[in-house]
A and B are shown apart, each in its own frame.
Chain A
Amino acid sequence: MTDEALVARAVEGDVDAYAALAERYYSSCARMARRMLRNDADAEDVVQETFLRAFRAIGRFEKGREFRVWLFTILVNQCRTAATSRKRRQLRFSDDEAALAGAADQRPIAVVEEKSAVAAAVDSLEPLLREAFVLKYVEGLEYTEMATITGAGISALKMRVKRACDALRPKLEAIYHE
């Protein structure tokens, strides 16, 4: 079923339809949040909060709007808020970063290593560049969509993507030409 059909049902109160949308977009939201927050637990919290906020607001969703872009607008703002709040917090109790390695990864080592290396490279970008790079190259969004999501102008976004790529190029070349 298309997003439009699911959204139309969700607007009418069909929870299963909304749950289907959540299942459909969970992974892309989660990977965006992980790149922006660089912490799996925070990312999971933010993604859940994003979907719950969207659920509460779905009754006001305008027909013709693209659900994914709307969802990502909420997600990006939640990520930015969480990043600010996390910087301020002094964690005196034990940080569970170590536990965030997550479940044992069963995929071939080469695949895992490539992803980790690329993730580390992208994570080293400053936040706005990282955000733009992920929206463009991981989520495959158009600049017009990115503009709606981030509130930045298209030329500003193109500049951020270019700067991100310039910073990443030597690192990615090193990863892929090993």
Chain B
Amino acid sequence: MSDVDNEELFERAGAALRESSASDERAREALVRAIRAEARRRRTPPRGAMSPWWMALAAAAVAFAAGLGIGRATGRQFVAATSLASDSAQRHVEFVFVAPAARNVSLVGDFNGWDATATPMRRTDGRATWSVSIPLAAGRHVYSFVVDGNDWVTDPQAPLSPEQWFGQRNSVVVVPVGDRRS
């Protein structure tokens, strides 16, 4: 039983709003292109049976969790854990990104003027992952990865920045001070 009087009035309104819009076709096509682009970025190159992209990601996360000694701005901790301290004001932090199909990946952030040419990342662990280790001052930093020179991508393992000044969020890493109180 309906709690609403004159139900058919609202059903009719609902039906009117279900009429599809003329612009959907174009947007739908753009979406499918975006999905395929995302899949290309994350999938292993086709050679025989393909494993799902997320398995590669999970495997990489497990592999890196076993590594120690360097603060990692990915995986389980977005607070860089330990460091190779050369001076008390900065820590070395390693950034890792899984993108098996990428041709090149660079790190951009508030520490290098968001310059995609400043901090290229290197393939590690076979071909699936990219990494780079850089000195960062203690505090909060925002960053992204630039894939193939054009696609700015957030770190899937890191918190999202609240700011989307230019239509896209970045990722956040916190580098603790030397004497961590927490």
Chain B interfacial residues counted at CB < 8 A:
40
**Are B18 and A31 closer than 8 Å at their CB atoms?**
yes
> With A and B bound together, what is the CA distance between A60 and B55 in angstroms?
10
Chain B interface SS verdict (over half) = helix
Is B48 part of the binding interface, using a Cβ–Cβ cutoff of 8 Å?
A: no
> With A and B bound together, what is the CA distance between A31 and B160 in angstroms?
27
Residues of B within 8 A of A45 (CB): 167
**Are B164 and A138 closer than 8 Å at their CB atoms?**
no
> With A and B bound together, what is the CA distance between A113 and B85 in angstroms?
68
Residues of B within 8 A of A162 (CB): 3-4
Is A1 part of the binding interface, using a Cβ–Cβ cutoff of 8 Å?
A: no
Chain A interfacial residues counted at CB < 8 A:
55
**Are A115 and B16 closer than 8 Å at their CB atoms?**
yes
Is A59 part of the binding interface, using a Cβ–Cβ cutoff of 8 Å?
A: yes
**Are A165 and B35 closer than 8 Å at their CB atoms?**
no
Given A56-B38, A118-B13, residue A13 in contact with residue B52 (CB < 8 A): yes
Chain A interface SS verdict (over half) = helix
Q: How distant is A91 from chain B, measured CB to nearest CB, in Å?
A: 12
> With A and B bound together, what is the CA distance between A158 and B53 in angstroms?
41
Q: Which of B9-30 contact A (CB under 8 A)?
A: 9-14, 16-24, 26-28, 30
The stretch among A64-72, A144-152, A167-175 that forms the contact with chain B is: A167-175
> With A and B bound together, what is the CA distance between A113 and B55 in angstroms?
50
> With A and B bound together, what is the CA distance between A27 and B54 in angstroms?
27
> With A and B bound together, what is the CA distance between A168 and B153 in angstroms?
43
Residues of B within 8 A of A173 (CB): 9
Residues of A within 8 A of B23 (CB): 40, 44, 102-103
25 contacts between A and B (CB under 8 A): A11-B52, A15-B36, A15-B39, A19-B35, A19-B36, A23-B28, A23-B32, A27-B20, A47-B27, A52-B35, A59-B54, A60-B54, A103-B22, A104-B22, A107-B19, A118-B13, A118-B16, A119-B17, A133-B10, A134-B17, A136-B14, A137-B11, A138-B14, A138-B18, A172-B12
Residues of A within 8 A of B (CB): 11-13, 15, 18-19, 22-23, 26-28, 30-31, 34-35, 40, 44-45, 47-48, 51-52, 55-56, 59-60, 85, 102-107, 111, 114-115, 118-119, 121-122, 133-134, 136-138, 140, 158, 161-162, 165, 168-169, 172-173, 176
